[in-house]
Amino acid sequence: MKIIITKNYDEMSSVAADLVEKCINKKPNAILGLATGSTPIGLYKELIKRHNDNKISFKDITSVNLDEYIGLPGDHDQSYRYFMNENLFNHVDIDKTKTFVPNGKAEDLNEEAKNYEKNIDDLGGIDLQILGIGTNGHVGFNEPSSKLELYTHIEDLTESTIHANSRFFDSIDDVPTTAISMGIGSIFKAKEIILLASGENKAKIMQTLKDTLVTPLIPASFLKLHPNVTIIMDEDAASLYNQE
Ligand code: PGA
């Protein structure tokens, strides 16, 4: 894994945007794997800026998102479809029919998961996957567990994730308790992976990630087995990284 430590959140976002820009300019019809959460918002702002400055075009880009809450329609302001529209898609020249987010309101969720995974394969796999990391080590909604699901699947959210995400909802009771998420195997199909981490609340998990062996109890640890992963984290997230 390649590790880049940046001074702050803005620099983390800008270094990540450099890698996305490089990918898009090399392959204008690239398949981008996108993530939600507070961490990639700065990256998306930077990509919008570069789009406005005519440095990148999303015209021929296809995007595939990691996950979606079960039960929230795409127009719900906490759904990940809504998040992507608001934070990126509405501001760039991407064709929305080529932006894929799992449907958390699908009648048959297992069928939705199966089709979502097939779509990733039909697209020829993801060129560049953006990931955040949960304080419990989850990537996408692959929660710590004694076993991990390989491909897109239904996941029960852990208490710690429900608690962490409750900051976006009126009440913790409003946070969905299940999600549809790409699996570690789906993520591994990506040719290149960028994991972003920012802030002191990520310092502990980044230290743990450095020290741990590969284990389903820390789903992000599987990234150690992928040949092309870059971790970009700011100094706050890296504050425990080099301590013994
Ligand atoms: P965050 O979430 O970017 O809001 O910290 C990351 C995650 O839970 O994967």
Strands (E), 177-218: 178-181, 192-197
Per-residue buried b or exposed e for 145-174, using 16+ beta carbons within 10 Å of the residue's own CB: eeebbebbbbbebbeebbebbeeeeeeeee
Backbone angles phi, psi at 173, to 5 degrees: -70, -15
Residue 147 has pLDDT above 90, yes or no: no
Q: Which residues are catalytic?
A: 67, 136, 138, 143
CB of 38 sitting under 6 A from ligand 1: yes
Which residue's CA lies nearest to atom 8 of ligand 1? 134
**Whole-prediction pTM:** 0.96
* Structure confidence at residue 10 (pLDDT): 98
Please write the tens of the pLDDT for every residue from 89-125: 999 999 999 999 999 999 999 999 999 999 999 999 9
Cβ–Cβ < 8 Å for 5, 238: yes
Residue nearest ligand 1's atom 2 by CA: 37
User: Residue 71: pLDDT above 80?
Assistant: yes
Alpha carbon 226 to its chain centroid, in Å, reads 16
Interacting residues of 241 by C-beta distance below 8 A, sequence separation 6+: 3, 5, 203, 206, 207, 210, 233
Q: Which two tokens stand for residue 42?
A: 């700065």
**Partners of 65 in beta bridges:** 34
pLDDT, position 243:
61
Residue 37, ligand 1, Cβ within 6 A: yes
Mind listing the pLDDT tens digit for each residue in 2-41? Answer: 999 999 999 999 999 999 999 999 999 999 999 999 999 9
Q: pLDDT tens digits, residue range 178-208?
A: 999 999 999 999 999 999 999 999 999 999 9
Residues 6+ apart with CB under 8 A from 116: 100, 102, 152, 180, 182
State residue 125's pLDDT score: 95
Ligand 1 pocket check for 33: Cβ under 6 Å: no
CB-based contact 93:58 (threshold 8 Å): yes
**What pLDDT is attached to residue 244?**
53
Using the atom order of ligand 1, give the atom closest to the CA of residue 196. Answer: 3
- The C-alpha angle 196, 201, 202, rounded to 5 degrees, equals 35
Ligand 1 atom closest to 165 (CA): 4
Q: Is 182 helix (H, G, I), strand (E, B) or coil?
A: coil
Please list, residue by residue across 95-119, b when 16 or more beta carbons sit within 10 angstroms of its beta carbon and e when fewer do. Answer: eeebbbbbbbbbeebeebbeebbee
Determine whether the shortest distance from the Cβ of 137 to ligand 1 is under 6 A: no
pLDDT at 138 over 70: yes
Write phi, then psi, for 208 (nearest 5 degrees): -60, -45
Considering the chain, what percentage of its residues have pLDDT values greater than 70?
99
Quick check: CB of 25 below 6 Å from ligand 1? no
State mean pLDDT over 210-216.
97
Q: What pLDDT is stored for residue 172 in this prediction? A: 96
Mean pLDDT rounded to a whole number for the chain: 97
- Select from 226, 41, 69 the least CA-distant residue to 141: 69
Distance 165 CA to ligand 1 centre (A): 8
